[in-house]
Amino acid sequence: MSALCWTRGAAGLGRSLHFPGRRCHALEEGILGSLCSLRRRSAASPCEQVVQKEWGHAELLEVLEARVRQLQAESTSEVGVKEVKTDQHPQSHSSRWAKKLECEKRVKQKRQEKFFDYEKQTVGFEREPVIWSGKLASYLPHISKGPDEEKQLARTLWAALRKFGSHPAEPKAWMKSKVMEPQILILQQKLLTFFKCCACTGHLPLAYHVLASHHAHRDKRLLLTLDMYNAVMLAWARKGSFKELVYVFLMVKDAGFSPDLWSYAAALQCMGRRDQDVRTIERCLKQMRAEGFQPQLLFTDLALEEEDRAAVLRAVVRAEPAFSPPPQAPNPVNTSTLLREVYAKEGPVSYPKLHLPLDTLQELFHQQLNVELSTHVSVQSVEKPPVMTKEVIEARKTLQALRKQWEVELLRVLQQTKATTAHQAHEGQPSLYPFLCLLSEGEYVSMLMQVLQVLPAQGEPLLYLAHNLGLRVLNRYLVKQKQASDQLQKLQQQYSQYLRLLASDTQVAPSLPRVYWESLGPQEAPPQQPWSLAVLLQLGKQLAELLVQAVQMPRSLVSPKGSHRLIPVLYHVYSFRSYRQVGMLKPHPVFAQLLETAAEPTLIFETTEVPMLCPPRPWTSPYNGAYLLSSPKLMRTVEGSTQHQRLLDGCPPAQLHGALDALTQLGNCAWRVNGRVLDLVLQIFRDKGCARLGVPPPRSEAPLPVQQDPPPYSTPVHKADLRKELARCLKTAREMHSLRSEALYRLSLAQHLRHSIFWLPHNMDFRGRTYPCPPHFNHLGSDLARALLEFAEGKPLGPKGLEWLKIHLVNLTGLKKRDSLSMRVAFADEIMEDILDSADNPMTGRKWWMEADEPWQTLACCMEVAKAVRSPDPAAYISHLPVHQDGSCNGLQHYAALGRDSAGAASVNLKPSDIPQDVYREVAAQVEEFRQQDAKKGLQVAQVLEGFISRKVVKQTVMTVVYGVTRYGGRMQIEKRLRELNDFPQEFVWEASHYLVHQVFKSLQEMFSSTRAIQQWLTESANLISHAGWPVEWVTPLGIPIIQPYHREVKFQIKGGIQTITFTSSVDGTQKPNTLKQKNGFPPNFIHSLDSSHMMLTALHCYRKGLTFVSVHDCFWTHATDIPVMNEVCREQFVRLHSQPILEDLSVFLDERFCSDSSIRSLKPADRVLITKLQDTLQSLPVKGIFNLEQVMRSTYFFS
């Protein structure tokens, strides 16, 4: 019978199930969606420390039980582990365990001593490969060392190319088994990355040895791909190793592959480096042409490094002296109709400059460069510092001493792990050895120590921790690679010239940043391809296990009377998350308490998590832009998805210019911190927070259960109630901790940057929507996050700026949404006394600002208005506050414009009107009419809802229905709103939410008939496309290629070590599409791609007019004085966008992509029937109304 053990976690109350005598097997980890970053350490309040001490004994029992499972897992681990001696009770019966552990310790130490020198060995694998083709194998005996070896190799290569064409590879047995495909894919990804990593670290003999070993084994040979052979050949070519290259070339032919352009590039590069005889080069070129590859393609289709390109050219010119590479094509020009004015050379332009001189920008550049070279940023925490008592001082000294010991032990265990993995590689296995050589041992130790410092007390899922560690290694290596090459020097020169375009004290011809950057020199080196998710997880898991093995502390820290024997600091435990059991790495509660007591004031961030100290690099391609050395993705996607990158790679460069320039423009906006608002927020944050104002309280304020333990002889019902209460308290405590941590990071970064100017580089999601790259401190956050930011460059308010500040203030309060702009200005004048009181006495006055919808932004605006009205000349007052113009239910605006729906257009302010139309209030009124009719008929739920149907109840559902919310999702939204009403009878919530969501959908269908027709047309098209086996694709009006990443889930496993990690992925493009997600996602994603196109067009045209512009999707920001210009541009670009035949172009694209002869040739008869239906659907476009788009130009409340 299982025992139910109650435990209390450090962050709140928790429980876990322990089954005596039963080992925990590897369990599913859940869907790998957005992978969170590690928690960072913060100081605990005295109250929190008391709570944690109270719970310490119960948690220690959990940790001790986890240690038993950890010891069991270590006995089967592939990695050598140094076992630790543990104290035993004199009367215990576990002496057998002690003997077993001592025996295993001696055996593993002998293995480690035996293989420790493998890393230092210089191994030359010169054995000839096993060639299965008899004809090819006959040439190997003729190769012998001596003066004629070079000629023999050349004849062998030529004979192989001339006499033996490629033959079909034997059928791959694993292709017949769909169950095995994911694991085969993981093995292939690991092999390819292993070969490339060996090339980067100089372990070419090892790469050749593993390749030859797999080629010699018939089953393993089926895993090899042409890319793998090419990777090894290219590495040998860079070394000029002709013999090894010939051997690999023979293996390529033997495996049944036809050499591709990369294969010939490797051969020619090797010949160019060795000054090979002309006859051999001529034969190679002849065979290359025979297979359809012209030499010109080597220089146009391949992204070769400069040195490699020169070697290839040298070889070709030796054989053909008259050959010259094709001239570099002139920079392509975007020809989109929508972007014609943006890229027009004629006409006036007023591209804005920064307000900083060149010398200042140069200094900021060097500061940012130093930050990125250091790979991490240390930031002082804004938590209330502890009193420096004797206990705190002693805890910090203890931690300092322990860390010195851990660094030594981590170095030792890392060396042992490298030795073990080196031995595995020598046995022909693609181990992690070359990955462990990417960074120096000191860099690995430093990185692991940083991870240990930020590990939260409640632990971290091994899946997330492994992914984070793998990414850190990759990013650090990429930075190190640029630092070791001449790329860093070229970057410094190019960026220094680029700053002349932006500086306030230089004279440079007006130009777009991307265009100017490209004119300064050739494109950057070919990008490093990212590692697969499986490789990242395997490497990260190995490093996490290394941390578990090495980091130990004296047992005397647990008990003062304990011995000085060592016990682990980290334990591998299992925790329930929903219905899944998740493997966690959890610190010992005593170690967590030691950190809490020490209350070290430092937070650690990766460089890409922090805003930049200089303007970002312009985006010039999907691989180059934003940070100086780090390389974020242009299109952020779920980890493991590659289909978006393939679309971007195949896209003509000019087609992406609109998106690249818009992202560059958004990133070039300089920011600063609003110091007055920050001081007030910090005051509340350090004083237990305030949930009403969006300042999260600390964990010590989390609710505690009435009873912490079930009393004796409790009934099963009482135990169940207590279990529910414990779960609720734990959930609340975790949510509070998460919100508090998020606020801590944001406020600490704000304090760190309060005297600095900084920039937020941007990228986009797969729909084209833009986002800042730094995740913790940006303008896309909450009301609090937005209030902390203001433009670094100020502008005079001008004649109308103060009015716009007042309108913005009233908009933030949410009080006058149905009033005209003039009425809002008048209202601001009426309450000027409250505005000034809020600005002067925010915490001690009448506190009017606290009642606003957006209180912190309202307070920031009150302060700005107060300064402006008190200045001698308000028009000359320099304002830094961003003023917003928000779309009126922007998704419905796009639908109404697509369908030319007059009634819908009027409801969402596309038509001119004296006062703003409120679609949410109109829907609420329509629903109220339906309710009254049903109430008269005696429907009970309609009678109960009398007086409760309001704008707030229906707003979220109306807002999200355009983005694909289902009736189920809408019901959940309405249920949440009804539960917030204190006087609503809660027993009717479920029935009332069902009734209301039906009425809301019915109202929208009547009010927006064309919207529903377009949604249904998009849904039906996506349904047919996905059932035929394709994911839905389209191209935005600005040329961004879009593909929906919804596929059937597939499971992957990373086996070995302390836990087998099982994760599911729904973004694998090799799997069939998920038809439900494809059809439900198409309408909202298509509308999102349109609103992103409108935003980018507005951004580019505002930049051309000299405006500072940023956006939060459909909310546009600029200076108060520039609001009239931005409003005009915003309306012009909306009209121009929807004047294009958007639905007609989409229909043509889908027909060409999915209904062409080449697309349907391989389909089954049943799928061809679907394509016929698709063609009929695409030709039956929704009927449009008669709304005139030009009316948008006169609509005051379109964006307001």
d(CA 997, CA 958): 10
The position carrying tokens 């630092």 is 483
Pairing of the two strands 1061-1065 and 28-31: parallel
Identify how many contiguous H helices and E strands the chain contains and give both numbers: 44, 24
To the query of whether residue 886 is one of the catalytic residues in this protein, the response is yes
Cα separations (Å) of 339 from 770, 1038, 1103, 1119?
Answer: 18, 8, 13, 24
Classify residue 841 by burial, with Cβ atoms within 10 Å: 0-12, 13-18, 19+: exposed
How far does Cα 974 stand from its chain's mean position?
A: 31
DSSP code, position 131: -
Cα separations (Å) of 430 from 188, 198, 224, 294?
Answer: 10, 10, 12, 35
Sorted by sequence, the CB contacts under 8 Å of residue 718 that are 6+ apart come out as 710
Asked if 465 contacts 451 with a C-beta cutoff of 8 angstroms, the reply is yes
Which of these, 379, 382, 376, lies nearest to 743 by C-alpha position? 382
d(CA 67, CA 568): 8
d(CA 754, CA 675): 6
Asked if 895 contacts 962 with a C-beta cutoff of 8 angstroms, the reply is yes
To the query of whether residue 955 is one of the catalytic residues in this protein, the response is yes
Q: In what order do the strands lie in the sheet with 883-886?
A: 883-886, 1115-1118, 1110-1112
d(CA 792, CA 880): 7
Q: Which of 661, 1068, 1114, 1122 is catalytic?
A: 1114
SS3 614: coil
DSSP track, 505-554: T-------HHHHHHHTSPPPPPPPPPPPHHHHHHHHHHHHHHHHHH-EEE
d(CA 206, CA 437): 13
The position carrying tokens 């989390």 is 702
d(CA 231, CA 226): 9
Which of these, 589, 701, 1186, 572, lies nearest to 897 by C-alpha position? 1186
Cα separations (Å) of 844 from 150, 810, 839, 1047?
Answer: 89, 22, 11, 56
The position carrying tokens 């949604």 is 1015
DSSP track, 796-842: E-HHHHHHHHHHHHHHHHTS-TTS-HHHHHHHHHHTHHHHHHHHH-T
Q: Which of 886, 934, 1151, 1167 is catalytic?
A: 886
Classify residue 829 by burial, with Cβ atoms within 10 Å: 0-12, 13-18, 19+: exposed
HSE-CB at 278 with a 13 A cutoff on CA atoms is: 5
Burial 129-145 (b: 16+ CB within 10 A, else e): bbbbeeebeebbeebee
Q: Which two tokens stand for residue 39?
A: 């928690």
Cα separations (Å) of 82 from 414, 445, 588?
Answer: 12, 17, 19
Which of these, 659, 771, 762, lies nearest to 1035 by C-alpha position? 659
DSSP code, position 141: G
d(CA 1067, CA 639): 8
Q: Which two tokens stand for residue 1146?
A: 């989409």
Q: Which of 196, 418, 482, 955 is catalytic?
A: 955
Angle at 548 between CA 542 and CA 554, to 5 degrees: 160
d(CA 508, CA 137): 65
Report the catalytic residues.
886, 955, 1114
